[in-house]
Protein backbone atom coordinates (compact mmCIF):
# COMPACT_ATOMS: atom_id res chain seq x y z
CA UNK A 1 0.00 0.00 0.00
CA UNK A 2 1.04 3.60 -0.57
CA UNK A 3 -0.34 6.81 0.89
CA UNK A 4 -0.31 10.36 -0.42
CA UNK A 5 -1.45 13.72 0.90
CA UNK A 6 -2.68 16.71 -1.06
CA UNK A 7 -3.51 20.30 -0.24
CA UNK A 8 -4.88 23.24 -2.18
CA UNK A 9 -6.28 26.69 -1.49
CA UNK A 10 -7.96 29.28 -3.73
CA UNK A 11 -9.35 32.76 -3.19
CA UNK A 12 -13.09 33.34 -3.52
CA UNK A 13 -14.16 35.87 -6.15
CA UNK A 14 -17.39 37.08 -7.71
CA UNK A 15 -18.35 35.99 -11.20
CA UNK A 16 -17.32 32.32 -11.03
CA UNK A 17 -19.19 29.13 -10.23
CA UNK A 18 -18.22 27.32 -7.05
CA UNK A 19 -17.26 23.75 -7.94
CA UNK A 20 -16.27 21.32 -5.17
CA UNK A 21 -15.69 17.65 -5.89
CA UNK A 22 -17.12 18.11 -9.36
CA UNK A 23 -20.41 19.46 -8.00
CA UNK A 24 -21.62 23.00 -8.67
CA UNK A 25 -22.72 24.46 -5.33
CA UNK A 26 -25.00 27.44 -4.82
CA UNK A 27 -22.79 30.40 -3.90
CA UNK A 28 -22.44 34.08 -4.74
CA UNK A 29 -18.71 33.51 -5.24
CA UNK A 30 -16.50 30.92 -6.89
CA UNK A 31 -12.83 30.06 -6.68
CA UNK A 32 -10.18 32.02 -8.56
CA UNK A 33 -7.68 30.08 -10.59
CA UNK A 34 -6.54 28.93 -14.00
CA UNK A 35 -8.77 25.84 -14.29
CA UNK A 36 -12.26 25.48 -12.83
CA UNK A 37 -10.39 25.81 -9.50
CA UNK A 38 -12.06 22.83 -7.83
CA UNK A 39 -9.91 22.96 -4.70
CA UNK A 40 -11.16 19.56 -3.54
CA UNK A 41 -10.24 17.75 -6.77
CA UNK A 42 -6.89 19.56 -6.91
CA UNK A 43 -6.01 18.28 -3.44
CA UNK A 44 -7.25 14.80 -4.40
CA UNK A 45 -5.19 14.72 -7.60
CA UNK A 46 -2.08 15.74 -5.64
CA UNK A 47 -2.76 13.02 -3.04
CA UNK A 48 -3.12 10.40 -5.79
CA UNK A 49 0.03 11.59 -7.53
CA UNK A 50 1.92 11.54 -4.23
CA UNK A 51 0.81 8.02 -3.40
CA UNK A 52 1.82 6.88 -6.88
CA UNK A 53 5.20 8.63 -6.55
CA UNK A 54 4.40 10.62 -9.69
CA UNK A 55 5.12 14.24 -8.73
CA UNK A 56 2.50 16.93 -8.28
CA UNK A 57 -0.32 18.68 -10.10
CA UNK A 58 1.82 21.55 -11.38
CA UNK A 59 4.16 19.10 -13.08
CA UNK A 60 1.42 17.88 -15.41
CA UNK A 61 -0.97 20.86 -15.50
CA UNK A 62 1.00 24.11 -15.04
CA UNK A 63 -1.12 27.23 -14.64
CA UNK A 64 1.02 28.85 -17.35
CA UNK A 65 -0.34 26.45 -19.98
CA UNK A 66 -3.38 27.91 -21.80
CA UNK A 67 -4.71 24.37 -22.50
CA UNK A 68 -5.83 24.15 -18.88
CA UNK A 69 -7.66 27.52 -18.80
CA UNK A 70 -11.08 26.81 -17.23
CA UNK A 71 -10.46 23.06 -17.61
CA UNK A 72 -12.60 20.75 -15.47
CA UNK A 73 -10.48 19.41 -12.62
CA UNK A 74 -11.76 15.87 -13.18
CA UNK A 75 -9.18 15.77 -16.02
CA UNK A 76 -6.43 16.17 -13.40
CA UNK A 77 -7.81 13.36 -11.25
CA UNK A 78 -8.17 11.07 -14.28
CA UNK A 79 -4.51 11.69 -15.21
CA UNK A 80 -3.42 10.91 -11.65
CA UNK A 81 -5.48 7.70 -11.70
CA UNK A 82 -3.96 6.67 -15.03
CA UNK A 83 -0.44 7.21 -13.70
CA UNK A 84 -1.26 5.19 -10.60
CA UNK A 85 -2.76 2.40 -12.71
CA UNK A 86 0.39 2.23 -14.84
CA UNK A 87 2.27 1.47 -11.65
CA UNK A 88 -0.24 -1.24 -10.74
CA UNK A 89 -2.08 0.80 -8.09
CA UNK A 90 -5.80 1.25 -7.43
CA UNK A 91 -7.68 3.37 -4.93
CA UNK A 92 -8.32 1.72 -1.56
CA UNK A 93 -9.92 4.83 -0.06
CA UNK A 94 -9.70 8.61 0.15
CA UNK A 95 -10.30 10.97 3.04
CA UNK A 96 -11.15 14.57 2.12
CA UNK A 97 -11.42 17.77 4.15
CA UNK A 98 -12.85 21.06 2.88
CA UNK A 99 -12.10 24.12 5.01
CA UNK A 100 -14.65 26.88 4.42
CA UNK A 101 -16.93 29.23 6.28
CA UNK A 102 -19.57 29.14 3.54
CA UNK A 103 -21.34 27.55 1.92
CA UNK A 104 -22.21 24.88 4.44
CA UNK A 105 -21.37 21.52 2.91
CA UNK A 106 -23.73 19.31 4.92
CA UNK A 107 -26.61 19.66 2.42
CA UNK A 108 -24.26 18.73 -0.45
CA UNK A 109 -22.07 16.14 1.28
CA UNK A 110 -23.64 13.03 -0.27
CA UNK A 111 -23.69 14.55 -3.78
CA UNK A 112 -19.98 15.39 -3.51
CA UNK A 113 -19.16 11.91 -2.18
CA UNK A 114 -21.08 10.28 -5.06
CA UNK A 115 -19.36 12.56 -7.59
CA UNK A 116 -15.87 11.76 -6.28
CA UNK A 117 -16.66 8.03 -6.04
CA UNK A 118 -17.84 7.99 -9.68
CA UNK A 119 -14.68 9.81 -10.74
CA UNK A 120 -12.49 7.31 -8.89
CA UNK A 121 -14.61 4.31 -9.98
CA UNK A 122 -15.00 3.17 -6.37
CA UNK A 123 -18.03 2.63 -4.14
CA UNK A 124 -19.07 5.74 -2.17
CA UNK A 125 -18.08 3.93 1.06
CA UNK A 126 -14.44 4.41 0.00
CA UNK A 127 -14.81 8.21 -0.04
CA UNK A 128 -15.00 10.15 3.22
CA UNK A 129 -15.72 13.89 3.27
CA UNK A 130 -15.45 16.29 6.19
CA UNK A 131 -16.12 20.02 6.35
CA UNK A 132 -14.36 22.32 8.79
CA UNK A 133 -14.42 26.04 9.47
CA UNK A 134 -11.66 28.35 10.65
CA UNK A 135 -13.86 29.86 13.38
CA UNK A 136 -13.55 33.28 11.75
CA UNK A 137 -9.73 33.21 11.70
CA UNK A 138 -7.54 34.08 8.71
CA UNK A 139 -8.52 34.45 5.07
CA UNK A 140 -10.69 31.34 5.11
CA UNK A 141 -12.38 32.42 8.30
CA UNK A 142 -13.17 35.79 6.77
CA UNK A 143 -14.82 34.08 3.80
CA UNK A 144 -12.08 35.03 1.33
CA UNK A 145 -10.79 31.54 0.48
CA UNK A 146 -11.47 27.82 0.59
CA UNK A 147 -8.88 25.13 1.23
CA UNK A 148 -8.90 21.37 0.97
CA UNK A 149 -6.81 18.47 2.23
CA UNK A 150 -6.87 14.97 0.80
CA UNK A 151 -5.33 11.67 1.75
CA UNK A 152 -5.34 8.81 -0.73
CA UNK A 153 -4.51 5.20 0.05
CA UNK A 154 -3.52 3.10 -2.95
CA UNK A 155 -3.19 -0.67 -3.00
CA UNK A 156 -1.59 -2.98 -5.52
CA UNK A 157 -4.32 -3.94 -7.92
CA UNK A 158 -4.81 -7.39 -9.30
CA UNK A 159 -4.29 -7.72 -13.05
CA UNK A 160 -8.08 -8.11 -13.47
CA UNK A 161 -8.81 -4.86 -11.62
CA UNK A 162 -6.21 -2.69 -13.34
CA UNK A 163 -8.21 -1.97 -16.46
CA UNK A 164 -11.64 -1.80 -14.87
CA UNK A 165 -11.26 0.05 -11.59
CA UNK A 166 -9.33 3.02 -12.91
CA UNK A 167 -10.80 3.67 -16.33
- Given a contact cutoff of 8 angstroms between Cβ atoms, the answer to whether 147 and 70 are in contact is no
Total number of domains constituting the chain:
1
Tell me the β-bridge partners of 149.
Answer: 7, 97
Quick one: average pLDDT of 55-71? Answer: 84
- Given a contact cutoff of 8 angstroms between Cβ atoms, the answer to whether 1 and 154 are in contact is yes
Quick one: average pLDDT of 8-24? Answer: 97
CATH number, domain of 44, equals 3.30.1330.50
**What's the CA gap between 74 and 116, in Å, rounded?**
9
> pTM value?
0.91
Percent of the chain at pLDDT > 70 equals 94
Is 164's pLDDT higher than 50? Answer: no
pLDDT digits (tens, 9 = 90+) for 74-132: 999 999 999 999 999 999 999 999 999 999 999 999 999 999 999 999 999 999 999 99
By residue range, what is the domain housing residue 110? 2-165
Quick one: average pLDDT of 11-39? Answer: 95
Quick one: average pLDDT of 13-32? Answer: 96
Residue 11: helix, strand or coil by DSSP? strand
Is 165's pLDDT higher than 60? Answer: no
Amino acid sequence: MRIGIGFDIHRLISGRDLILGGVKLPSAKGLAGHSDSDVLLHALADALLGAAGAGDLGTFFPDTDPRWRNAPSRIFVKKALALAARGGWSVANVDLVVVTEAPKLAPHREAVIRSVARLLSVPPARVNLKAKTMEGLGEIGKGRAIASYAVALLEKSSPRKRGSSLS
